[in-house]
Amino acid sequence: MKSTATKPAGERNPQATGPFLSVRDLKVHFSTEDGTVKAVDGLSFDLERGKTLGIVGESGSGKSVTNLTILGLHNPDSTAVEGSITLDGEELNGASEKTLEKLRGNKMSMIFQDA
């Protein structure tokens, strides 16, 4: 019998191979009154399962924007996101708010700098 039960949101995807998080050619551009701000412009990295990845860079280099975009916490009206963000085999760029809500606090979360 085939189970149709929804698996818990935090459960590992047994079909997923490769890195837990993979970011490919990520571009995050904001449209502002003063023009386009290319906050992230072609970023790629992998985070392997069970590993820790530190991202360093000068202030304003796009660290926060990268992570906010992975969580889908950017303003969709003023932000153009290009590239691929896969988490445990699932594409997050273009994923529905419902999908992202299920993943937040389960497979991904953010500790804010000014919490």
Ligand X SMILES: Nc1ncnc2c1ncn2[C@@H]1O[C@H](COP(=O)(O)OP(=O)(O)O)[C@@H](O)[C@H]1O
Q: Is 79 near Mg ion (CB under 5 A)?
A: no
Please give the Cα distance from 77 to 53 (Å, whole number).
30
DSSP 8-state class, residue 33: T
60 touches, from Mg ion, ligand X, none (C-beta below 5 to 8 Å by class) = ligand X
Give least dist CB 37 to Mg ion, A: 15
Cβ-based neighbours of 98, under 8 Å, separated by 6 or more: none
Q: Are 113 and 65 in contact (CB under 8 A)?
A: no
Give least dist CB 78 to ligand X, A: 7
Rank residues 35 and 60 by Cβ distance to Mg ion and give the closer one: 60
Q: Is 62 near ligand X (CB under 6 A)?
A: yes
Of residues 59, 56, 55, the one with CA closest to residue 21: 55
Residues that bind ligand X (CB under 6 A): 30, 32, 37, 39, 57, 59-65
Contact positions vs Mg ion (CB under 5 A): 63-64
